[in-house]
Amino acid sequence: MATTPDTTLGDAGEFGLISQLVEIFEGDEHVLVGPGDDAAVLRIRHGHVVVSTDLMVEGRHFRRDWASASDVGHRAAAQNLSDINAMGGTARHLTIGLAAPADLPLEWALDLARGFAEECASVGATVVGGDVTRADQVVIAVTVIGQCTQAPVLRSGARPGDVLALTGRQGWAAGGLAVLGRGFRSPRVLVEAYRRPEPPYAAGRQAAEAGASALIDVSDGLLAEAGHLAEASGVAIDVRASSFAVPEPLQAVGAALGADPMQFILAGGDDHALLATFPPDVAVPEGWQVIGEVLEGSGVTVDGSAYDGATGWTHF
């Protein structure tokens, strides 16, 4: 159909939108049936199938005046691809559901799809289907299907004596969110980190193959995710704040906002770093930084003491 920059979803209609989305999402040799039928059909040859679902709601997880449609697409894909990464797996295929107002510009939806497809392509994953419907605000629902060639690494495998290690940027997206929340757009490096995270996609499988005992994606906050590991494994975890070097952009934001920049690191999410535990006889892989240890007991401490600040994002 012929469109203009003023064309809305209401103008294009459900099937007009779908026909253009299908052109953006390309399949691969594992997709036997892709978008266009009642369900996709995939070929799974060996290993374990791992599946995760996530939601992004306008006004709660993103704002259109803070990020472009392409940025939102990258973020929506990244948070789902990272969940498979956190199992020690590799993402293969995704489905995406889009609910949106009828007056949403068609080009915004297509740019969302393009950003989503670009992020998926960075790990060799493809979109195989989805759904669209009308809603009062933009809601994005994604399901990702991945594969583990070895046993998936769970949250529940940490044991006393293990070391706690981190890989990927941490606190940058939280710093960017704080900046945007005050109406600013700099430091730009932090704003861009919020708009388009850079998860360490190769690190999950790397950790699994090295012998990680537990693994989790840092989506809601470092201390919050450490708490999930501790609870699932029935252990205590102590995080060493001194193991972190606070980067200059976070120092600048902390000074400007009158905030402790360490709070961005300890409680920040959305960078999608990976947090893992490794047994004492396992060499921590290159690129991972030891930031704490696993102990007998329960809960999470910082430098041996209870932490009285925020630990991460809460959904309710």
Q: Which is nearest to 119 in space by CA: 154, 149, 144, 138?
A: 144
Supply the CATH classification number for the domain 9-148: 3.30.1330.10
At residue 261, the pLDDT reads 95
User: CATH homologous superfamily of domain 155-302?
Assistant: PurM-like C-terminal domain (3.90.650.10)
Q: Is 83 annotated as a binding residue?
A: yes
Q: Is 130 annotated as a binding residue?
A: yes
At residue 38, the pLDDT reads 54
At residue 264, the pLDDT reads 96
pTM for the model stands at 0.87
Domain ranges within the chain, ordered by starting residue: 9-148, 155-302
Q: Is 292 annotated as a binding residue?
A: no
Q: Is 38 annotated as a binding residue?
A: yes
Q: Is 53 annotated as a binding residue?
A: yes
List, for residues 186-237, the tens digit of each pLDDT value: 899 999 999 999 999 999 999 999 999 999 999 999 999 999 999 999 999 9
Q: Where are the alpha helices (DSSP H) in the chain?
A: 9-24, 69-85, 106-121, 172-181, 188-195, 203-210, 222-233, 248-257, 261-267
CB 87 within 8 A of CB 46: no
CB 290 within 8 A of CB 243: yes
**Fold equal for 9-148 and 155-302:** no
Between the two ends of the chain, the Cα-to-Cα distance in Å is 42
At residue 189, the pLDDT reads 97
Q: Is 28 annotated as a binding residue?
A: no
The single residue listed with the structure tokens 């003023």 is 6
Q: Is 233 annotated as a binding residue?
A: no
Name the stretches of the chain with pLDDT < 50: none
At residue 310, the pLDDT reads 86
Tell me if residue 293 falls in helix, strand or coil.
Answer: strand
At residue 263, the pLDDT reads 95
Q: Is 313 annotated as a binding residue?
A: yes
CB 223 within 8 A of CB 267: yes
User: What is the Cα–Cα distance from 24 to 127, expressed in whole angstroms?
Assistant: 9
At residue 301, the pLDDT reads 98
Angle between helices 188-195 and 248-257 (to 10 degrees): 100
**Sheet of strand 163-167: strand arrangement:** 214-218, 273-278, 163-167, 289-295, 236-239, 299-302
